Structure 1
Amino acid sequence: MALRVNGKVVTPTGVIRQGCVEINGDRITAVAEYPSVRDGHWILPGFVDMHTHGGGGHTFTTGDAGQARAAAAFHLRHGTTTLLASLVSSPFDLMRDATAAYAPLVREGVLAGIHFEGPYLSSVRCGAQNPEFLRDPSFDELTELIELGDGAVRMVTLAPERDGALEAVKLLTAHRVVVAVGHTDATYDETRAAVAAGASVGTHLFNGMRPVHHREPGPVVALLAAPNVVCELVADGVHLHDGMLTFATSVAGPERAALITDAMAAAGMPDGGYELGGQAVTVAAGVARLTSDGSIAGSTLTMDAALRHAVAAGIPIADAARMVATTPARAINLGDRLGALQVGLRADLVVLDDDLNVVRVMRGGSWVD
């Protein structure tokens, strides 16, 4: 029996003010105007977070399947119906154990895949990554992880200036693993070489990157200018000034700008002491920083809060909806299955009130408790 959800429906092409989404089973079967609707809630596609380390007091960074399941459930309540489990730089044993632990959750659909943010990163731009674990890309390590994951490894962030990085990009993309450029001191030309080799994402643009300079544009300009690169943006007012958020969005367009949380376990939790990749983190006034040197250490953001922040900064809601769902889904090669309110895609949607607070969440045609 078909189910109908009525309200202000946000599609990839705009807003249907008096609209409805029709669902049969786990699929969207119709998106249309519904003139009898009056002042309904906002209906957006389920959020897709391609970069999150945890939330609700639970973390993805330790390779613990129970923790991963609980973190995914926390973000699901905030409208994130699809997410990657992001790890931070760590020893290979942990990367291998996490892949083995999370692959069943990927097959089950709890996770959309694994994202290794490191350890093949710049020590100069490591941010909150543990410098003890940073190293050059390893062909053998990556090959083993790809084979062990059997499709579970979906994205790897690396610094293109490290020895062997371009060969790693080619290896990963040959196995349909998305390569992101991040935590990098690369030059403009080094970044362009990585993009030419197949890199297609910029990890939390501006953060953990050589800054823009008019005589050496660096990675930010190279990534923004590349027509096939999706740029991650953390819309929390801490990682990026709102002026930079809207500027980057205007340059890349909503089809190449993806909002992410970069959340850690402290998302949705009180201020206090936490841990990330073996390093102590202090959260004060909702901002997570390394206890040792004050570097930003992920965020306490959720995707619904990121959406609200982006809209408050002046990004139209139809564009913001693409940035929290359609664009990240396409960036991680899931755009043919989910990420938009379109006929034939999985019935993932978020119902929001006029203040863009979550009212209800649907995943695969079923309402989430």
Structure 2
Amino acid sequence: MTINPAQPHRTQAEADRSSAQHGHPAGDRARTILRGTALRGDGVNGARLLGDTAVVVDGEEFSYVGPGSAVSPRPGDVTVELAAGEVMIPGLIDLHCHGGYGVDFSGADAQEARRAVEALHATGTTTVMASLVTSAPQTLLRQLALLADLAEEGLVAGLHLEGPFLAEARCGAQDPRWLRDPDLGLAREFISAARGQLRTMTYAPELPGAAALVELLAENGVVPSLGHTACSPAEAGQSLELAREFLVTSGLPAARPTVTHLFNGMDPMHHRAPGALSACLRAAKAGGAAVELITDNTHLDPYLVGTMFELLGAQNIALVTDSMAAAGLADGQYQLGPSEVTVRDGVARLASTGSIAGGTATMLDLVRNTVRAGASLEDAITSAAVVPAGVLGRGREIGVLAAGAAADLLVLTPALEAARVMRRGQWLVPQQA
């Protein structure tokens, strides 16, 4: 059976019944075979757009990705022929997402969080890490426990704490009332509440006790992420190196720290006061850190985005949305943790101070903007899928079109819009932000 990507896709139960009718038991169920141009490779050795590619979906995984001539359909299989100009890419991965579609992870209940994550999946962000902004400790503990349930279920890929151990001088949209110096006892409570699902935590290295915090995080499988800091270049460089050493010693698959939304939440670089930014750039260039970039054309100028890809290389950049509740919705009033946010012309700002308060774009928006800024599609996908998967220590499971990986993919139009979205082998209804 051959279908056009625009046509509805049958359910897995229907496929299983068809397979049984053709003499195949459900365990040998029908597959979906996509044929066309695909972005193949791991992004480290160089992903390339290759035509005449077959991507075979068997259950929740890819069972084959390679030359189309090597695959023959079985009775009951469904074949999807891509239209001219369409391409297949791996599902996108957002390491820094505070919510969307009217939902703020920092205050949502389980049902609301589930609704937001499922909506984000349908935009092409098939892997989402739920981020929490600085709030009262009890609020953070409650939300960590609540979201850990969704992580254990596999709906989100883990949790990210943006605070509360951040510098007030560079707090941005973080509520300064709840900022504090690193407290190892409280950090252990956070780790315990998350039940092994805390994946990254943003911290300011100049605060007293930051080095001990970095060690504690690495020992517990949490990737330290430098950010919201006013530290010196020496402090930033030493902290990133220390974080990498602790991660390696702890045997984590992700053996390098990250930098939370580079350029935002830190001092601008001046030729006589280079600040933390200079050390972050050097660490990333050397492969010692992965830097987050919010390429929504609000947080960063497109020319700067192109410059970063040229200077650092896509393999050292992770695209992130930093999205908040307004993502996917119209301008208006929203919430980000304890703070009220006004969104006008798609730009979110704190109602109290006017500071930028997260993003409203999707990961696919960022990919398009990155390509328009001068990066290749291959490099944009490396930073939107391959690098984030590596940060999570799951480079063989997600963010790649390869046999054995989760069946997460997008079919993109020539304009880089989502024609189809698949997550874990199931077609979703594409949503546009």
Give the TM-score range, shorter chain. Answer: over 0.9
Alignment-derived partner of residue 258 in structure 2: 201
Greater CA drift, 83-92 or 218-227: 218-227
TM alignment of 1:52-91, pairs within 5 A = 52-91=97-136
- After TM superposition, list the pairs within 5 Å mapping 1:1-369 onto structure 2: 1-11=30-40, 12=43, 13-34=47-68, 39=84, 41-198=86-243, 200-226=257-283, 227-369=287-429
Residues in 2 aligned to 1:355 and 1:37: alpha-carbon distance in whole angstroms? 15
SS of the aligned residue for 1:28 comes to strand
**Take 2:82 and 2:300, find their aligned partners in 1: how far apart are those partners?**
38
Gaps of 5+ in 2: 1-29, 70-80, 245-256
> What is the CA distance between 1:215 and its match in structure 2?
3.0
Q: Distance in 1 between matches of 2:279 and 2:229?
A: 12
Instruction: Name the structure 1 match of 2:72.
Output: none
State whether residues 104 and 337 of structure 2, in contact with CA within 8 Å, keep that contact through their aligned partners in structure 1. no
CA deviations on 1:101-158 (whole Å, 9 max, x unpaired) are 1111111111111100011111000111111111111101111222232211111001
**Separation in structure 2 between the aligned mates of residue 37 and residue 147 of structure 1, nearest angstrom:** 46
The alignment of Structure 1 onto Structure 2 pairs a total of residues equal to 369
Structure 2 length normalisation: TM-score?
A: 0.82
SS in structure 1 opposite 2:369? helix
- Cα offset, 1:18, TM superposition: 2.9
**Residue identity in the other structure for 2:384:** V
> How far off its partner does 1:33 sit?
2.9
> For the structure 1 residues 65 and 241, does the alpha-carbon distance in structure 2 shift closer, same or farther, using more than 3 Å as the test?
same
State the alpha-carbon separation in 1 of the partners of residues 273 and 198 from structure 2: 33
Query: d(CA) in 1 for partners of 2:103 and 2:194?
Result: 22
Q: Select the structure of larger CA radius of gyration.
A: 2
TM-score by length of 1: 0.96
- Residue type matched to 1:118 in 2? G
How far apart, CA to CA, are the structure 2 residues paired with 1:189 and 1:23? 49
Q: 1:80 is paired with a residue of what secondary structure?
A: coil
Amino acid across the alignment from 1:314? G
Q: Quote the Cα distance in structure 1 between the aligned partners of 2:192 and 2:121.
A: 29
Where does the alignment leave 5 or more consecutive residues of structure 1 unmatched? Answer: none
Question: What RMSD, in angstroms, separates the aligned Cα atoms of the two structures?
Answer: 1.5
CA contact (8 A) 2:85 2:414 kept: no
